[in-house]
């Protein structure tokens, strides 16, 4: 019995030691996986913010100390609420007019003092897709128009826009995919959708579907809230004729940050995100990334809202580099200078090959000046 008790005690000790070692290893692995993680909430997959978040995730992730985890939300207003209250969400891509709406309606008291932004992003286009019987936006009066899910950015903007245009429509709130199917069957007159062009939802449309985009009148009331833009054949070649672009409006978007001042680790993770995002921003302009990155100007401000302090500090320290002209723009300016200079001196024009070679020499000289 004595030997049995000793053996049993030894076995129990060994098991406890194994469990403790396993627990320590699990805790260590969990800590490593969560190191540097930033959660970024986007709108639904029908829009482009998921793709934008994917670009950011690929840019930031270094495999060990930094990582962006995209989270698909239900739309700008819900994303804003999640940013304020949902555990773990650090940043969100929001429509700028939804921020203004939340402030005007006082939906989240104290929002202006707690929420900050890293950068304004791209503009997104208001798409109003109608069936064959509707030729003009005014014909939507008293008809069913789908504006996406309740609380989505599209729902808020569409209601605001129809009010500004004094057009009373019957609103439905299906998902965009369901609404597109209903539009094809004639169950609704149109669907509204805010998304960066070209929106994946519309890429499969054909001219023989009988669906078409409606123009948005740009009157004084609309111009006070939104910017004018167009949908063209380059955006949707199978549904928009080359000689008939569609006038519409643009809605801004912003990368917003939760109030993390009392959460030191998460705050530090976002600071690291800002440093990499701003420093490596130029790489997002290369092929393989969403073309909307070319619309982003890091220094652009969002009136009425505060920038995330570390982002503001980074921009102040690096203002000269941020405002430097892009390489392509600089080369065009250089070529124009050569042309004008030679013309003024009565010299013959320089060939493009010679101008390119001279520009490369200029760049080499410029790099030498920085050393």
Q: Which of 83, 97, 127, 57 is nearest to 290 (CA)?
A: 57
Within a domain: 129 = yes
Q: Are residues 294 and 332 in the same domain?
A: no
Bridge partner residues of 72 (DSSP): 42
Are 256 and 116 within 8 A, CB to CB? yes
Q: Which of 158, 159, 151, 38 is nearest to 89 (CA)?
A: 38
Q: What pLDDT digit, counting tens, does each position of 88-142 carry?
A: 999 999 999 999 899 989 899 889 888 999 999 999 999 999 999 999 999 999 9
Domain that holds residue 348: 326-357
We report the CATH number of the domain holding residue 44 as 3.40.190.10
Q: Are residues 248 and 158 in the same domain?
A: yes
User: Which of these three, 194, 217, 252, is where a domain ends?
Assistant: 252
Rounded (10°) CA dihedral 358, 359, 364, 367: 150
Number of domain units in the chain: 3
Nearest-5° Cα angle at 109, 107 to 113: 125
Those residues of the chain that have pLDDT short of 70 are 1-34, 321-330, 332-333, 340-341, 343-346, 363-371
Q: 3-state class of 182 per DSSP?
A: helix
Q: Are residues 167 and 285 in the same domain?
A: no
Within a domain: 1 = no
Bridge partner residues of 175 (DSSP): none
pTM assigned to the model: 0.74
Q: What pLDDT digit, counting tens, does each position of 35-76 carry?
A: 889 999 998 777 789 999 999 999 999 888 899 999 998 878
Are 153 and 73 within 8 A, CB to CB? no
Within a domain: 58 = yes
Q: Are residues 136 and 69 in the same domain?
A: no
Q: Looking at residue 177, what is its pLDDT?
A: 93
Q: Are residues 352 and 277 in the same domain?
A: no
Q: Looking at residue 9, what is its pLDDT?
A: 58
Handedness of CA 232, 234, 235, 238 (dihedral sign): positive
Q: Looking at residue 340, what is its pLDDT?
A: 65
Q: Are residues 141 and 248 in the same domain?
A: yes
Q: Are residues 69 and 155 in the same domain?
A: no
CA 352 to chain centre: 37
Q: Are residues 142 and 100 in the same domain?
A: no
Residues 6+ apart with CB under 8 A from 354: none
Q: Looking at residue 324, what is its pLDDT?
A: 53
Within a domain: 188 = yes
Q: Are residues 142 and 198 in the same domain?
A: yes
Q: Are residues 245 and 149 in the same domain?
A: yes
For the record, the structure tokens of 343 come out as 């013309």
């Amino acid at each position: 019995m004595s030997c049995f008790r000793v053996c049993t005690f030894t076995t129990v000790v060994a098991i406890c030691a194994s469990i403790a070692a396993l627990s320590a290893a699990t805790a260590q692995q969990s800590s490593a996986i969560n190191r540097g993680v930033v959660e970024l909430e986007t709108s639904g997959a029908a829009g482009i913010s998921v793709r934008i978040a994917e670009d950011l995730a690929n840019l930031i992730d270094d495999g060990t100390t930094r990582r962006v985890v995209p989270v698909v939300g239900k739309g700008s207003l819900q994303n804003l609420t999640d940013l304020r209250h949902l555990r773990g969400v650090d940043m969100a891509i929001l429509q700028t007019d939804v921020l203004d709406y939340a402030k005007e309606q006082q939906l989240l008291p104290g929002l202006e003092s707690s929420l900050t932004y890293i950068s304004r992003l791209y503009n997104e286009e208001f798409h109003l897709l109608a069936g064959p019987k509707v030729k003009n936006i005014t014909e939507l009066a008293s008809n069913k128009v789908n504006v996406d899910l309740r609380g989505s950015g599209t729902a808020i903007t569409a209601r605001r826009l129809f009010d500004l245009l004094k057009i009373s429509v019957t609103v439905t709130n299906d998902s965009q995919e369901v609404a597109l199917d209903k539009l094809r069957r004639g169950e609704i007159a149109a669907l509204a959708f805010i998304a960066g062009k070209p929106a994946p939802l519309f890429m499969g449309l054909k001219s023989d579907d009988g669906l078409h985009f409606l123009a948005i009148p740009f009157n004084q009331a609309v111009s006070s809230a939104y910017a004018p833009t167009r949908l063209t054949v380059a955006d949707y070649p199978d549904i928009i004729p080359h000689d008939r672009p569609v006038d519409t409006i643009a809605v801004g978007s912003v990368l917003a940050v939760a109030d993390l001042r009392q959460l030191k680790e998460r705050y530090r993770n976002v600071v690291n995100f800002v440093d990499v995002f701003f420093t490596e921003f130029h790489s997002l302009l290369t092929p393989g990334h969403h073309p909307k990155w070319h619309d982003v100007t890091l220094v652009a401000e969002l009136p009425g809202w505060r920038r995330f302090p570390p982002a503001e500090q980074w921009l102040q320290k690096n203002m000269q580099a941020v405002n430097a002209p892009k390489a392509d723009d600089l080369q065009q300016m250089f070529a124009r200078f050569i042309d004008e200079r030679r013309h003024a001196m009565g010299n013959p024009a320089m060939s493009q090959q010679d101008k390119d070679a001279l520009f490369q020499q200029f760049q080499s000289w410029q790099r030498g000046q920085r050393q």
